[in-house]
A and B are shown apart, each in its own frame.
Chain A
Amino acid sequence: MSGDTPSIIAFEDVSKWFGTFQVLRDVDLSIGEGECVVICGPSGSGKSTLIRCINRLETHDRGVVRVHGVPLGPGERLPRELRGKIGMVFQSFNLFPHMTVLRNLALAPMRNLRMDKEKAEETALTYLERVHIGDQAEKYPDQLSGGQQQRVAIARALCMQPDILLFDEPTSSLDPEMIREVLDVIFELTDSGITMVCVTHEMGFARKVSDRVVFMDHGEIVESAAPDAFFDAPREERTRAFLNQILHYEATA
């Protein structure tokens, strides 16, 4: 599916249960290096759980997840050499509220990469500039708007120079007028070579930015296709139904 690029993330027959409820059903998915994949689907379909299995915030119960070729079995956490190499941007930002923006960014490089303070803050400022908020470095998170906070969170993840960046509904808790600024920043990252996996309901963004759209329902991958094919000629009935539901107003507007 991912064509010529070698795969950096691979799900092989992965299942997961929360109690008796099966959240992931025999998922097979391969994501190539540098690819940008959007995962969509109705709520409760297992999208978030799927990407949280990549950086092991969740562990699966059956099958194998390969990250950078390292096979991870059921219950296995992230091996040391991969820690910090898989950045994540959360729906609720999860910035550290008691630290300035600059310290939010500098902490992980200092503690994980053993970078000294000047170097870490220099790096932090570079990435803040990159998400267009270099002037907010000394503020505290709750002095910023939601959109700015999410951009700080993206910059914070970038400071660890990750090869993989996971987005878990990055715009879902934002006011509508701030969604654009965050999506723009994510768009600007597409030529950085970082592999990106993004759970989102922003279909316009998916179409413009992604190399591939994956549609999930009831814990299984229903359809996986290039964006044009996905939106213009969905193969599966369930995909069509989902697209009809969420695109209804856009289509008739």
Chain B
Amino acid sequence: MSTVNQWTGRFRPTRLDGILLVGLVAAAGWMWYRSAVGVAYRWDWPQALSTVFAAGDAGETPFFLTGIYATLRLSLWGAVLASILGVLIGVGRYAGGRTLRMFCGTYIQILRNIPPLVFIFIFYFFISSQLMPLLGLDALFNRPAEEASGWQRFLFGPPALWENLVSGVLCISFISAAYIAEVVRAGLAAIPRGQWEAGESLGIPVLDRYRFVIFPQALARIAPPLTGQYISLVKDSSIVSLISVQELTFVGSEIANSSGLLFEVWLLVAFVYFLLCLSLSILLRQVERRMTRHFHQFA
């Protein structure tokens, strides 16, 4: 393995690094050879790029870009909702009475033990179609498009796709909340009992004990698994393409199928996801560093 000097952070390549590099280049070459010779694939990157970034007939935003924006919005609101639900369920599971603990436990078990895809279909066909009218959301979404302000468009996208977005966000966040809840519960359970007792003996009200004493410490401990959860959420947002939420994967598959430039388009889609997740993990690591800088015992 490569060795990074712990003190200087300098990289010293070893023989194994060389072997791995040669292996990688060989694998890439073989794949290129198979696609060129084996299936006689004709690469056409210029065509692919111009297709992908072509504006609409009336100068609308390129379809591919609307997919990226949709994925961003889906991830953002999905993460926000998943965090809220996850914290509520996690706390309920940790500190609730018997009934609440059982309810939260059941939620977690159900969501974690059926495939996300199956859940999404069930949710979309059985629940979503009933839930939307019940909450009066469809009335909200069927308002004339002109009523949407610039801010609303920026945050939630074109009004015509709001219902679409809500379905996607609900699906993603319901699934992710189950995992976040488990992480939150574990984080709470890891805080020594003495911290609670100190807060209690000082007469700090119970909600303030959570807010000032317990949560900040729990958050610092669960930051790494939570980061992983958010990255999963961005990637997993691709499955809601199957209920026609027009995000990156949906858009990518449309363009790939209509243009026939399968390899190029899917590679572009993969590249965009990669960039999104990589930037997210770099960003969250910075946040994590800031948050844990006073926790010498965790470093």
Contact = CB atoms under 8 A, between A and B. Distances in A.
Interface string A94-123: 111111000000011001100000000000
Contacts of B220: 98
Nearest to B198: A94
A92 B194 contact: yes
Contacts of A170: none
A86 B204 contact: no
A140 interface: yes
Given A94-B194, A98-B216, A156 B202 contact: yes
Nearest to B207: A111
A218 B208 CA distance: 38
Contact of B201 (A87, A97, A140): A87
A112 B205 contact: yes
B294 A98 contact: yes
Given A90-B194, A90-B198, A94-B195, A140 B204 contact: no
Nearest to B297: A142
B197 interface: yes
A85 B203 contact: yes
B289 to A, nearest CB: 14
A160 B198 CA distance: 12
Interface residues on B, range: 20 to 34
B205 A111 contact: yes
Interface string B192-217: 10110110111111001000110011
A97 B217 contact: yes
B296 A142 contact: yes
A138 to B, nearest CB: 12
Contacts of A87: 201-202
Interface in B270-299: 294-297
A151 to B, nearest CB: 15
Given A95-B198, A111-B208, A111-B212, A83 B203 contact: yes
Contact of B204 (A88, A99, A108, A157): A108
B137 to A, nearest CB: 39
Contact of B200 (A57, A85, A97, A142): A57
Given A84-B202, A84-B203, A107-B204, A97 B197 contact: no
Nearest to A108: B202
B194 A112 contact: no
A157 B204 CA distance: 12
Contacts of B197: 57, 88, 90, 94
Contacts of B195: 94, 96
Contacts of B212: 96, 99, 107, 111
B220 to A, nearest CB: 7
A210 interface: no
Contacts of A97: 217, 294-295, 297
Contact of A112 (B198, B202, B217, B296): B202
Interface string B177-203: 000000000000000101101101111
A55 interface: yes
Contacts of B294: 97-98, 140
The 5 closest A-B pairs by CB, nearest first: A84-B203, A108-B202, A83-B203, A94-B198, A94-B194
